[in-house]
Structure 1
Amino acid sequence: MNIDLKADNPVMTVDSVTEIALVTDSVSPIGMISKFLGHGNDCFIMDIPTQTVWKFDNDGQLIGKLSRIGNGPGEYGRLYDIDLDSDGNLYLLDMQKKKILRYSADSMEFIAETKLPGNAVAFCGADSTTFYLNNPGGKKGITAKLGIFKSGEKDINPLVESAIKDEYRAFGANSTHIWRSGNDLLYYDRFTPDIYELTQDSIISYATINGGEFPSAEDVQALIDASKNHDYAPFMEESKMVKDLLYAYKTADGIALGLSTVPQTHVYKSFEDGKTYTIRTDGNAHFNGAVKGAIGVWNDRLVTFKPSENDGNPSLVLYKVDKQ
């Protein structure tokens, strides 16, 4: 499947479906929606600032939360990522202690943990014993873009090797390159046109991005050096170059991509007619104020959120895109 990034692509507009105000007690508001996962009629929100996982129903009512910093069973040192699988398991990545904790998505009770032989900055659970790891590495540091780890094994098996040493440091690189849309997992090979689909035990080509400006090996090395030296000014002139994807989420109707250009670009590949569209998000009054772009999928609708206007909880906005 080809996804074209052409200036003359037709435009699709945002059509908001519903807005859901999230409700917690006034003493403990959500710090930040760091990650969103839809799960049937419920959803989970990872909140990095408060090191909490919140669970809400489809009316926005709080029905559970995990906030267990410590050293005991089911407790974590540093929450860094979460995921769900089709069997009803909720997973938490503890970056500090290099382990993945497994809970029941229904009761949020602790079940078991899996020790990792190295680091990872993001992950997805294929099943209760198999995990895809983004930017994984062991004693030699981060050596792969994507790896797979199975419980009981000693090493992380690299699936997509890093072409350049320390590529993960490159300025403009987003830490998350695996996105879940229900049971579908998409992986983006950073700084290339390649998007892959992940299954329980394989990685297959899914889509190719055409028409973008992707950095050369020399450009990537310069980005790495700039990041190490905290000197980003030389790259402001190249701000429209496609350096990374912000997200890749699919529904039954199509796939939405966010590109880390300046300004950010959002495109949509329609499964109905096979065309690629530019998403225009500023033409719908209900959508105004929402963060542009998708943070997940819930009940086959793309999800974004609106920050609170009075320092309370944000609201979720479920939407689709429609042809003009």
Structure 2
Amino acid sequence: MNCTHKALKRCTLLLVFCLSLGCQSEKKPQNSIHRIEIDPGSNTRPLQLSSISDSLEYIHLQSGNYSFIGSIAHVEEFNGKYYVHDKDQDAIVIFDRKGKYIDRVQRIGDGPGEYRKIDFFDLNKKNSSLEIYDVRKGKVFTYDLYGNFVSSIRVTLICRDFITTPDGDYLFYSPDEYNFFNGTKELGTGLIHVSRNGKEANLILPLGDEKFSPILVSSSLVEYQKNTYLFSNYTDTVYQIKESEVTNKYFVDYGTQIDERALLDPNFTFVNADFAFLKLNPLVTENTISYSFLYKGEDKTTLIDKTSLKSSLFRGTINDIDSGMFTLNGTMINDSDYVSFFTSEMANAYQQYYSSIDISSTQPDSSNYRISQIIDEMKLNNNNPVIIRTKMKAK
């Protein structure tokens, strides 16, 4: 009996040990924290476009009664078509690969399938659909790629950015509003994951504070290769998300901390602020994380190597490929193509910027001529925006 009892005890212990190993092997990996050091006060030079891009193409969007863009907010591309969010007219205007007008989605009203305002827009490539979030109505509207209404779900969240995940769910970035999902489930502030059917919502990244002043930027959420990246303006960290899990954190050490007054006071002056602030024009490629920030009243751009975690700092961008225009205000539409845009106002400001700096050592003498040429072409097209499609370098 004693021998049998001892043997049974040993077997039980062995079974528990084996089960514990099995459980450990099934645990989800913990997210990694990567530290990057940046000296925001270091001397900077303009970024040479040829260092990150191989080529670029200008696509003038056709202008007409239905294709005129009042104020462009966002551009997406799918299956050879461009989907342009016109925030002035609350419409999605569709163009083909060469910029020829195809159709527009504009269903404003209070009837079935109608929204009041396009606060946020994204393409759901998994389901081949257009997703529009109307904050006031508290709904996500789904349309097919021809603008036909498909469905809507109730999502009463106040957010600063919105994106569909590669699997077709939704992420809502809400760092300064304390949210209750559909008025019932308490979530708080941060990054919220909502299921495709709108039945489940979870706070996957607590972030921010309801006392913070809203920081309104064009984009904080970026998708690249089945991952979403959050460029939060309330922390010094870039977060990598896989569906509903934070998988990596890139902490940027500037050597100084954000003055909390900048987060609380909407009238805070940044001219002489001795700390880095904001993450503007976010960009993610295969090997690089990039964004612009403010330091002592100047905008600077950092390129961070994902592998070495080394960073480079620049001020301004020089298009040394074709002497034309370029800006980092767009999105990666696949693994290598980046789509940005220029309005006539931006083009004129860009020309003035080039006229005010010394580019003789980096730019051909024809640079101002090329920019003027593009601006003249825009005028002939009723100043409709230009899409710039850029082929980014693999490394």
Which whole-Å CA distance do the structure 1 matches of 2:285 and 2:100 have between them?
Answer: 25
Quote the Cα distance in structure 2 between the aligned partners of 1:125 and 1:56: 22
TM-score by length of 1: 0.81
Superposition deviation, residue 272 in structure 1:
8.1
1:160 counterpart (201, 205, 217): 205
Select 1:184's aligned residue among 222, 227, 251.
227
Is 1:112 aligned to residue 146 of structure 2? no
Q: Is 1:5 aligned to 2:38, yes or no?
A: yes
1:246 to partner: Cα distance: 1.3
Alpha carbons of structure 1 residues 194 and 158: separation in structure 2 relative to 1, 3 Å: same
How many aligned residue pairs are there? 309
Distance in 1 of aligned mates of 2:199 and 2:337: 37
SS at match of 1:223: helix
Q: Confirm or deny that 1:46 pairs with 2:81.
A: no
The separation in 2 between residues aligned to 1:21 and 1:209, in whole angstroms, is: 38
Aligned equivalents of 1:157, 1:246: Cα separation in 2: 26
Residue 129 of structure 1, CA deviation: 6.4
SS at match of 2:108: coil
- Assess if the C-alpha contact under 8 Å between 1:193 and 1:210 holds in 2: yes
Q: Which residue of 1 aligns with 2:284?
A: 250
For 2:167 and 2:113, the matched residues in 1 are separated by: 16
Question: How big is each residue's C-alpha offset from its partner over 1:278-304, in whole Å with a ceiling of 9 and x where there is no partner?
Answer: 3551353746554x3232123422333
CA RMSD of aligned residues (A): 3.2
One-letter code aligned to 2:289: I
1:80–1:121 contact (8 Å) kept in structure 2: no
1:133 Cα deviation from its structure 2 partner: 0.7
Residue 144 of structure 1 aligns with an amino acid whose one-letter code is T
Q: Which has the higher contact order (CA 8 A, sep 6+)?
A: 1
Paired residue secondary structure (1:24): coil
Question: Which ranges of structure 1 fall in alignment gaps of 5 or more residues?
Answer: none
Matched, 1:194 2:237: yes
1:159–1:47 distance in 2 versus 1, CA, 3 Å:
same
Q: Which residue of 2 aligns with 1:205?
A: 248
What's the offset of the Cα at 1:103?
Answer: 1.5
Q: 1:32 to 1:293 in 2, by over 3 A?
A: same
Greater Cα radius of gyration, structure 1 or 2: 2
Deviating more after overlay: 75-84 vs 25-34: 25-34
Aligned CA distance change for structure 1 residues 287 and 115 (closer, same or farther; 3 Å): farther
Distance 1:97 1:47, change over 3 A: same
Cα deviation 1:248-289 (Å, max 9, x = unaligned): 222235333222443222222346876433355135374655
Partner of 1:69: 108
The 1-side partners of 2:225 and 2:384 are apart by: 25
Q: Greater CA deviation, 185-194 or 278-287?
A: 278-287
**Which residue is 1:264 aligned to?**
299
Q: Is the 8 A contact 2:92 2:104 kept in 1?
A: yes
In 1, are the aligned partners of 2:305 and 2:311 still within 8 Å (CA)?
Answer: yes
Partner of 1:102: 142
CA distance in 2, matches of 1:79, 1:249: 23
- Cα shift at 1:223: 2.8
Displacement of 1:81: 0.6
Could you list the per-position Cα deviations for residues 132-190 of structure 1 after superposition, in whole angstroms to 9, with x for gaps in the alignment? 11116236999312112223537x422222443322x25x5536321234643211233
Do 2:35 and 2:252's aligned partners in 1 also have CA atoms closer than 8 Å?
yes
Q: Which residue of 1 aligns with 2:342?
A: 306
- Provide the C-alpha distance between the structure 2 equivalents of 1:46 and 1:130, rounded to a whole number of angstroms: 21
